[in-house]
């Protein structure tokens, strides 16, 4: 047998059998010294890693980003320094609430994560297919996610919990409207837009900062499933997104998105009439038009899904000089949360895994040493320079890449972002001006189907929120609820009287 084809142990020794256990006599028992059997079983027990706490179900692809327009007036990031610049990209699209084995075509927000492997290191945009989010303070994120996951007693998803929470957080109505609209079930990841959602910033070579929103405009038509279509599809396949995406790329139909930015001069944040750092609000296109920047094309399926997609670690903390954060409270929390999740989910040196290694970076020099997963050299070729400062020419920080000072003022305190009329303006515009009659009708029915199993008190509280968006919205959902038999399969809710806080 050739060495090339010969099965070996992980230590490289040839293996005599991979099918038959070594036993004492023909009928057993098994010998403990059959180390390869022990090894095989032990490895199987370690094949799963924790699924992502959110966005567990996902689909990925690799490709190239190419700069098509000059935005050097806004950013000094090297990737944008010249029209025609290119870099490799990795994307992972996902649903939020479902577990790793969830059906693909479920009504949910879709995650839209991107890793740009640039010369200056990895730049990640970890966004969604919606330009906004349900809440605007990170304190509320774990509670929000809890309402999307399973009830502790029934172990079922709980519409009661979802709408109870949303009714108490009326700023969520903008995102819930998008979720319950046609765009709540894209036919697959290739037919939806992507958004960075948060406000980020860019600074140019003169240190001038602009606030920026990222938009990934889908170059394929926007296509969605109705509830009925999705239910039928899930009955025949739960993996429709993986199938569609994988097959499209294998067939040479490469999905593309155009990167656009909206730009706001730094000082205008004080005068623009709304809080541009509120994640529940968009910047109107009329005031802040889309500026084209470049094209993303995905032309490769990962050779190994686990290695490139399950092991991928996207984080808003991965940014490059010329691109920065904003005061958005949610973004600030996310900058902490993702790397923390990666250390838990993937391990100490998760950045060295093939999906995450900064493969295009001009250099990789840091002082993190040792620890589990340290399967690469720990001295970057200079063993004496293992602390800093040192006299041995070890890596030193480069002040020229420092971000210009971020102007902030005010007293440190807990500032409640109170519900206000402004929370209803944008959902009202979406409902009354962007959607047409047929889309509004489906929105009413989708919402009624989703909250059908809820208690009367939750329904009434949620309808009161819709009323503030538009009376027709509340009336439409109320009528659709009355006409539907969606509470036939109602999940029992607690008999306890709702607390005052929930009323
Ligand atoms: P525009 O008329 O310029 O933009 C409307 C936007 O809404 C378009 O991007 C359109 O996407 C998108 N859209 C259409 N149907 C839906 C849907 N069911 N769910 C989510 N988005 C949808 O107006 P404005 O910029 O003034 O925004 C008006 C409202 O549109 C906002 O209040 C917000 O609710 C929504 N919106 C705004 C976005 C923004 O960044 N300004 C982005 C997305 C939504 P398409 O171009 O594919 O038709
Ligand atoms: C995944 C936290 C808000 C988009 C995750 C993960 C965590 C997390 C811990 C799992 C990461 C991993 O294991 O790799 C948070 C917190 C938030 C928040 C604390 C608010 C304070 C948001 C928002 C968006 C978003 C506002 C979109 C605009 C995503 C996406 C993923 C994800 C797309 C999947 C990443 C991937 O594909 O690997 N989030 N999140 N999250 N989150 Fe958030």
> 61-96: per-residue pLDDT in tens?
999 999 999 999 999 999 999 999 999 999 999 999
The residue whose C-alpha atom lies closest to atom 29 belonging to ligand 1 is 430
Residue 132 lies in a domain: yes
| Ligand 2 probe mutation, 112, 126, 132, 315, most atoms within 8 A of CB | 126
151 is catalytic: no
**Strands (DSSP E) found in 119-178:** 121-128
pLDDT exceeds cutoff 70 at 9: yes
Nearest ligand (C-alpha, residue 218)? 1
Task: Tell whether 318 and 449 lie within a shared domain.
Answer: no
pLDDT grade for 485, boundaries at 50, 70 and 90? low
Rounded to 5°, angle at Cα 433 from 427 and 438: 100
Q: Is 338 annotated as a binding residue?
A: yes
List ligand 2's pocket residues with C-beta within 6 A.
52-55, 58, 92, 94, 111, 113, 126-128, 133, 138, 141, 197, 312-314, 330, 333-334, 337-338, 341-342, 345
Catalytic option among 122, 128, 311, 446? 128
Task: Report the residue among 426, 430, 431, 445 best suited for mutation to probe ligand 1: largest number of ligand atoms under 8 A from its CB.
Answer: 430
Q: Given a cut of 60, is residue 381 above it in pLDDT?
A: yes
Q: Is residue 239 part of a domain?
A: yes
Distance 485 CA to ligand 1 centre (A): 32
Average model confidence (pLDDT) across the chain: 94
CA of 280 to the centre of ligand 1 (A): 13
Q: Is residue 146 part of a domain?
A: yes
Indicate if 349 and 426 belong to the same structural domain: no
Q: How far is the CA of 178 from the centre of ligand 1 (A)?
A: 10
- Ligand 1 pocket member 426 (CB < 6 A): yes
Instruction: State pLDDT tens for residues 332-371.
Output: 999 999 999 999 999 999 999 999 999 999 989 999 999 9
* Structural domain harbouring 434: 422-484
Ligand 2 centre to CA of 55 (Å) is 7
What's residue 349's pLDDT? 94
Residue 414 lies in a domain: no
Atom index in ligand 1 nearest the CA of residue 439 equals 18
Which residue in 5, 43, 55, 188 is the catalytic one? 55
Ligand showing the shortest atom-to-Cα distance for residue 341: 2
Q: Tell me, what's the pLDDT at 335? A: 97
Q: Give nearest CA residue, ligand 1 atom 1.
A: 285
With a 6 A CB cut-off, is 204 part of the ligand 1 pocket? no
CATH number of the domain to which 468 belongs: 1.20.1370.60
Which mutation among 434, 444, 470 tests ligand 1's pocket best, with the greatest number of atoms within 8 A of CB?
434
State pTM to two decimals: 0.95
Q: Which residue lies with its CA nearest to atom 32 of ligand 2?
A: 55
Q: Could you tell me the pLDDT band of residue 489, with boundaries at 50, 70 and 90? A: very low
Claim to verify: residue 42 and residue 64 sit in the same structural domain: no
CA distance 300 to 240: 18
pLDDT above 90: residue 286: yes
The answer, yes or no, to whether any atom of ligand 1 lies below 6 A from the CB of 285, is yes
Other beta carbons within 10 angstroms of residue 322's beta carbon come to 24
Backbone angles phi, psi at 33, to 5 degrees: -75, -5
Residue 383 lies in a domain: no
* Residues β-bridged to residue 172: none
8 and 110 both lie in a single domain: no
| Residues in Cβ contact with 240 at an 8 Å cutoff, skipping those fewer than 6 apart | 104, 105, 188, 233, 234
How many Å lie between the centroid of ligand 2 and the Cα of residue 139? 14
Residue in the block written with tokens 């990737």: 79
Q: What are phi and psi of 457, to 5 degrees?
A: -65, -40
- The ligand with the least distance to the CA atom of 95 is 2
User: In b/e form, how buried is each residue of 18-52, taking b as 16+ CB within 10 angstroms?
Assistant: eeeeeeeeeeeeeeeeeebbeeeeeeeeeeeeeeb
C-alpha radius of gyration, the chain, whole number: 26
Q: For residue 26, is it within any domain?
A: yes
Task: Report the number of distinct structural domains present in the chain.
Answer: 3
Whether residue 283 sits in one domain with residue 242: yes
Tally of residues, the chain: 503
Please tell me whether residues 273 and 326 are part of one structural domain.
Answer: yes
Ligand 1 mean position to 128 CA, how many Å?
A: 14
| 501 band by pLDDT with thresholds 50, 70 and 90 | very low
**Residue 147 dihedral angles phi and psi, to the nearest 5°:** -70, -20
Q: What is the 175 CA–ligand 1 centroid distance (Å)?
A: 12
Per-residue pLDDT, 497: 45
160 found inside a domain? yes
Ligand sitting nearest the alpha carbon of 214: 1
Give the C-alpha separation, 11 to 21, whole Å.
Answer: 20
- What's the CATH code of the domain at 43? 4.10.91.20
152 and 283 both lie in a single domain? yes
Pocket test for ligand 2, best of 52, 135, 178 (most atoms within 8 A of CB): 52
| Pair (203, 250) in one structural domain | yes
The stretch 401-405 carries a mean pLDDT of: 94
Co-location of 82 and 34 in the same domain? no
> From the CA of 427, how far away is ligand 1's center (Å)?
10
Per-residue pLDDT tens over the stretch 134-172: 999 999 999 999 999 999 999 999 999 999 999 999 999
Q: Are residues 221 and 296 in the same domain?
A: yes
The pLDDT value given to residue 486: 54
Q: According to the model, what pLDDT value does residue 1 have?
A: 81
The answer to whether 349 is a known catalytic residue is no
- % pLDDT > 90, the chain: 90
Statement: residue 411 has pLDDT above 90:
yes
Can you state the angle between helices 437-451 and 159-168, rounded to 10 degrees? 120
Sequence-distant (6+) residues with CB within 8 A of 492 are: 154
Number of Cβ within 10 Å of residue 414's Cβ equals 6
Pocket flag, ligand 1, residue 218 (CB < 6 Å): no
- Is residue 385, in this structure, part of any structural domain at all? no
The verdict on ipTM greater than 0.95 is yes
Question: Is there an atom of ligand 1 within 6 Å of 423 CB?
Answer: no
Do 345 and 427 lie in one domain? The reply is no
In tens, the pLDDT along 307-323 reads 999 999 999 999 999 99
> Do 104 and 13 belong to one domain?
no
């Amino acid at each position: 047998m050739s060495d090339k084809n010969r099965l070996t142990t992980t230590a490289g020794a040839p293996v005599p059998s991979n099918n038959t256990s070594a036993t004492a006599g023909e009928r057993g028992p098994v010998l403990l010294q059959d180390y390869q059997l022990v090894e095989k079983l032990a490895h199987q027990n370690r094949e799963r890693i924790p699924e992502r706490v959110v966005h567990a179900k996902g689909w990925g692809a690799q490709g190239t980003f190419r700069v098509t327009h000059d935005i050097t007036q806004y950013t000094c990031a090297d990737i944008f320094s010249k029209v025609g610049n290119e870099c490799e990209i990795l994307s992972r699209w996902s649903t939020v609430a479902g577990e790793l084995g969830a059906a693909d075509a479920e009504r949910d927000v879709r995650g839209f994560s991107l890793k740009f492997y640039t010369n200056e290191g990895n730049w990640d945009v970890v966004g969604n297919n919606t330009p906004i989010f349900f809440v605007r303070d990170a304190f509320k994120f774990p509670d929000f996610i809890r309402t999307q996951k399973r009830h502790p007693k029934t172990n079922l998803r709980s519409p009661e919990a979802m709408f109870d929470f949303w009714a108490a957080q009326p700023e969520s109505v903008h995102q819930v409207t998008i979720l319950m609209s046609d765009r709540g079930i894209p036919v697959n990841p290739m037919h939806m837009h992507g958004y960075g959602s948060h406000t980020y910033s860019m600074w140019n070579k003169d240190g001038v900062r602009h606030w920026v929103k990222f938009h990934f405009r889908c170059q394929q038509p926007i296509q969605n499933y109705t509830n009925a279509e999705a239910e039928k599809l899930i009955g025949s396949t739960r993996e429709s997104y993986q199938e569609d995406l994988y097959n499209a790329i294998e067939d040479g139909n490469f999905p593309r998105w155009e990167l656009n930015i909206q730009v706001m001069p730094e000082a205008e944040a004080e005068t623009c009439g709304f809080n541009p750092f509120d994640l529940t609000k968009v910047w109107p296109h009329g005031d802040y038009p889309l500026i084209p920047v470049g094209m993303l094309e995905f032309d490769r399926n990962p050779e190994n899904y686990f290695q490139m997609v399950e092991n991928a670690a996207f984080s808003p903390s991965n940014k490059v000089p010329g691109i920065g954060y904003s005061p958005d409270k949610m973004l600030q929390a996310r900058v902490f949360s993702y790397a923390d999740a990666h250390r838990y989910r993937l391990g100490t040196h998760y950045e060295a895994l093939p999906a995450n290694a900064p493969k295009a970076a001009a250099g990789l020099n840091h002082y993190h040493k040792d620890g589990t997963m340290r399967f690469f050299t720990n001295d970057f070729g200079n063993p004496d320079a293992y602390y800093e400062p040192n006299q041995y020419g070890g890596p030193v920080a480069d002040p020229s890449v420092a971000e210009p000072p971020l102007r902030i003022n005010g007293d440190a305190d807990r500032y409640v972002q109170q519900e206000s009329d402004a929370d209803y303006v944008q959902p009202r515009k979406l409902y009354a001006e962007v959607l047409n009659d047929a889309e509004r009708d489906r929105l009413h029915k989708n919402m009624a189907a989703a909250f059908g199993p809820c208690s009367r008190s939750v329904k009434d509280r949620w309808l009161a929120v819709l009323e503030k968006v538009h009376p027709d919205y509340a009336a439409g959902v109320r009528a659709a609820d009355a006409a539907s038999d969606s509470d036939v399969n109602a999940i029992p809710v607690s008999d306890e009287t709702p607390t005052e806080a929930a009323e």
